Structure 1
Amino acid sequence: MRAAVVFYRDKKNPQELEQLAKGVLRGLQSQKGVTVDLISLEPGMETRLSGYGYLALGVPRGTLLKGKLPGNFKELLSSCGHLVGKKAFAFVPSKLIGSQKTLSNLMAAMEKEGIFLRFSEILTDAKHAEEVGAKLQVD
């Protein structure tokens, strides 16, 4: 199965989420029969996710209390092609405050696009991300 690890590139801290995404990628690659691509979702880029059977999608933590999703994330997601029925995993980086609300908002945005969420997690570091990625049920 083809899978994509997609992350929204944050201008404030671009390395943090990318390291988590690479951890999830390594975990998914350890599963038999799974081909995985790493995709950076950025404003102005046209990204098609229709060809993937499984999506792992991450965003940076939003504002402290509201957990607001970054910039035009919802519009970017809706322009990524036909996503209805895609199986998915949602993740955000661990922070003291705001991670849970951001994760809830991410899951709501994904479900609005018709994505079938199978799992979600607040990831602490790349090692944790890799462990979670290895356990995801892709099929």
Structure 2
Amino acid sequence: MNASISEALHGLVSSYRTALKTATTNSGIELAITHIRAIKCISKIPNCSARDIAQKLHLDKSQIARLLKDLLQQDYISKDKHPTNRRCQSLNLTDKGYAIYAKIQQIDQQNRQRMCQNIAESELEQFIALANRMKQNLTSPTQSEGALS
């Protein structure tokens, strides 16, 4: 049973990423999935910083630096003074960034509808609850890890 859970999760994530990449490419969006996720973070987190993105996407500083450099060069984001923290910069979408974000939202909506077709709302709610619990199980220290502290 445990092996089938792992395979099901790997299969779902792989299929989702493939569908997202195919849809973005077909829409003329030539960005890596990580870049797309960063654009989503910047759009949703007020006064978003590089650290916010690193924490949300579970990436290290060098990966974030490369990602942000790409998005800056492509004029999807800008860096501004952070309003409350002088030690970091606030990342914001440019007009071009907002335009691509609107396309990404459409693609996300289409993929969600496609992925969830023929599945009852109650089943989706149950899946989300189970997935969140599994995630919590994997990110919380286990009893044996706690004993090592």
Question: Normalised by the size of structure 1, how large is the TM-score?
Answer: 0.31
Q: Which structure is higher in helix share?
A: 2
Question: Normalised by the size of structure 2, how large is the TM-score?
Answer: 0.30
Q: Which structure is higher in strand share?
A: 1
Name the structure, 1 or 2, with higher relative contact order (CA <8 Å, separation 6+): 1
